[in-house]
Chain A
Amino acid sequence: MHVTQIISEKCTGCEDCVFVCTLKAIRMEGGKAVILEHCTDCKDCWKRCGDGAIYSGETSAASAAGPQQSTEDWRGVLVWLEGDDSGLQPASREVLAAGRRLADDLGVYLEAYLVGGSGAARDAVSRGVDRVHQRAPAAPHTGLASAYESPLLGLIRQRQFEIVLFPDSLPSWELAPRLAQRLQTALYPPVSALTVDFETRELLGTIHAYGGTYFSEVTTGGARPQIALVRGNAFPETSADPSREGEIVQAA
């Protein structure tokens, strides 16, 4: 018996899930998706759904119970990006590059929470983001934490990304520790190298200790999501390919 379910009020009938399901376990009925009996809960569809209309009944019960859930439930990489109509900020391009490589290594989608205009969203897609959750910047002088904390927290909880990356900047320092605390997980201090263990999907980061006198390799074991800040000038940017395809959705 599968636990994957469709929230029909949220389903827009885009048929993305039907397309992504390799078992043909989703059918359209009256413009809404319906999960069929032979669904194996592989979660491909709810990682794909941009409307938050698919969820696992089992997983939401587990999240309510606290942090004791399986790392298996967490898939995908999310990066925090900033930009304007001329494109992404340099630090954001580097974080995107770091995220793209990890997503390729893990065989998952790279998604982005982008604060900025449509030019930046197109830049993000051309540089390798599969799905951009775009939103306009909050009014200046509002606290970053108050403006972006709960929408970002909602997105991470709903999609259950296994890795979330931020650039090493003031907005990240304002947001990432708060998210890590609410998600009961660790936050990697700025890393200059990132690798994943293919079996455990654990993130191994290299951090600079005592102002760079020493380097330490750190990991957080079973914690999900694995949230890390990315050092500047450590990850070469991916090149922009305007023909690359990706999805841009409006985020809260």
Chain B
Amino acid sequence: MRVIVLLKQVPDPEQIGVSRTKGTLFEKGKRILNPADEHVLELAAELKSKEQADFVALASGPEPVVEVLRRAYAFGADQCYHLVEELDEGDHFAKARALAGAIRLIAKERGEVDLVLAGKGSPAWGAGQTGARIAAELELPQALWVAKLRVHGRELEATQLAGGEEQVRRVPMPALVTVDPSANKPRIPNALLLMKAFKREVKKLALEELGLTPVAFAAGTTQMRIVRTYAPD
């Protein structure tokens, strides 16, 4: 089976502040891998050893995004792809369309994808809407907030966690799954693995390669615009 892991680089929650005069958030330090995505990498690593899965990682954004893909190599990824784009971060529609395009391109290059894995959400808005958006783009069935995942042939047994209750669902592959942080305890890659990861090649993809028409990104209508940000009293 082939697994594609979607990774996101996010502002470090410990390293942000709010400008009182401008009403905007600012970042003081380097961006980090979305903490929820560590659990996604762990699950992919487990699928690689249990199911002999081909473990592919994909992240999109400007150049520094490459750093989160190095972490995927340290978790044992077979190949990492960086979709280089500078789309508005509040434009979940365009981001999802671009990532779906990249997944199609990778499937053409490497073979059919059976499972797309994403994190449950990110610290900024806790949203986690990109996974289901990509599933819609690729016409895939999905299971969100999955705490336990078993593979039975071409079918997944997914235990979803909602409001403290578990519900088990069977989903045919190919499918998209978002991983609940309770699913596992991510390993901590040692220094040697991290150093080796630094030498691996990250393949670059460009938006122009995806065959998306400019109308795919109807500028000005699909993004969320922050009017102001403030700290509650």
B124: chain A residues at CB < 8 Å are 209-210
- Is the beta-carbon distance between B133 and A177 smaller than 8 angstroms? yes
A143-B142, A146-B141, A215-B230 as given contacts; A169 in contact with B162, CB under 8 Å: yes
A residues 182-209 near B (Cβ < 8 Å) are 182, 184-190, 204, 207-209
A209-B25, A214-B25 as given contacts; A186 in contact with B141, CB under 8 Å: no
A177-B129, A178-B132, A218-B225 as given contacts; A210 in contact with B215, CB under 8 Å: no
- Is the beta-carbon distance between A209 and B222 smaller than 8 angstroms? no
A143-B141, A170-B144, A210-B16 as given contacts; A217 in contact with B221, CB under 8 Å: no
The answer to whether B145 has its CB under 8 Å from any CB of chain A is yes
Q: How far is the CB of A153 from the nearest CB of chain B, in Å?
A: 10
B residues 124-147 near A (Cβ < 8 Å) are 124-133, 135-137, 141-145
Interface of chain B, helix or strand or loop or mixed? mixed
The answer to whether B232 has its CB under 8 Å from any CB of chain A is yes
- Is the beta-carbon distance between B232 and A181 smaller than 8 angstroms? no
Q: How far is the CB of B213 from the nearest CB of chain A, in Å?
A: 10
The answer to whether B96 has its CB under 8 Å from any CB of chain A is yes
- Is the beta-carbon distance between A145 and B141 smaller than 8 angstroms? yes
* A178 (CB) vs chain B CBs: closest residue: B136
A174 to B93, CA, bound (A): 16
A220: chain B residues at CB < 8 Å are 221-225
The answer to whether A67 has its CB under 8 Å from any CB of chain B is yes
Interface string of B62-88 (1 = CB under 8 A from A): 000000000000000000000000000
The answer to whether A68 has its CB under 8 Å from any CB of chain B is yes
User: A176 is contacted by which of B25, B129, B226 (Cβ under 8 Å)?
Assistant: B129
Q: How far is the CB of B96 from the nearest CB of chain A, in Å?
A: 6
B residues 8-32 near A (Cβ < 8 Å) are 13, 16, 18, 25
A residues 154-192 near B (Cβ < 8 Å) are 169-170, 173-174, 176-178, 180-182, 184-190
The answer to whether B160 has its CB under 8 Å from any CB of chain A is yes
* B135 (CB) vs chain A CBs: closest residue: A178
B144: chain A residues at CB < 8 Å are 170, 173-174
The answer to whether B218 has its CB under 8 Å from any CB of chain A is yes
A12: chain B residues at CB < 8 Å are none
The answer to whether B170 has its CB under 8 Å from any CB of chain A is yes
B145: chain A residues at CB < 8 Å are 170, 173
Interface string of B200-230 (1 = CB under 8 A from A): 0000000000000001001011111111111
A213 to B11, CA, bound (A): 14
Q: How far is the CB of A10 from the nearest CB of chain B, in Å?
A: 28
Q: How far is the CB of A24 from the nearest CB of chain B, in Å?
A: 37
> In the complex, which of the residues B25, B92, B224 has the most CB atoms of chain A within 10 Å of its own CB atom?
B224
The answer to whether B110 has its CB under 8 Å from any CB of chain A is no
* A140 (CB) vs chain B CBs: closest residue: B167
A189-B125, A209-B124, A215-B232 as given contacts; A181 in contact with B93, CB under 8 Å: yes
- Is the beta-carbon distance between A186 and B128 smaller than 8 angstroms? no
- Is the beta-carbon distance between B169 and A141 smaller than 8 angstroms? yes
- Is the beta-carbon distance between A216 and B218 smaller than 8 angstroms? no
Q: How far is the CB of B146 from the nearest CB of chain A, in Å?
A: 11
A141-B169, A174-B144, A223-B221 as given contacts; A209 in contact with B215, CB under 8 Å: no
B218: chain A residues at CB < 8 Å are 66-68, 184
A177-B136, A181-B93, A189-B126 as given contacts; A214 in contact with B224, CB under 8 Å: no
A186-B224, A220-B225 as given contacts; A214 in contact with B231, CB under 8 Å: yes
The answer to whether A30 has its CB under 8 Å from any CB of chain B is no
B129: chain A residues at CB < 8 Å are 173, 176-177, 180, 187, 189
A5: chain B residues at CB < 8 Å are none
- Is the beta-carbon distance between A204 and B227 smaller than 8 angstroms? yes
B171: chain A residues at CB < 8 Å are 143
18 inter-chain pairs at a CB distance below 8 angstroms, sorted by A residue, are A66-B218, A67-B218, A141-B170, A177-B130, A180-B93, A184-B221, A186-B92, A187-B127, A187-B129, A189-B126, A210-B123, A214-B232, A216-B25, A216-B125, A216-B229, A217-B228, A218-B226, A219-B225
Extra contacts, 9 of them, besides A174-B144, A185-B222, A189-B125 (Cβ < 8 A), are A66-B215, A66-B218, A67-B222, A178-B135, A207-B125, A209-B125, A212-B232, A217-B227, A219-B225
Q: Which residues of B contact A (CB under 8 A)?
A: 13, 16, 18, 25, 90-93, 96-97, 123-133, 135-137, 141-145, 160, 162-163, 168-171, 215, 218, 220-232
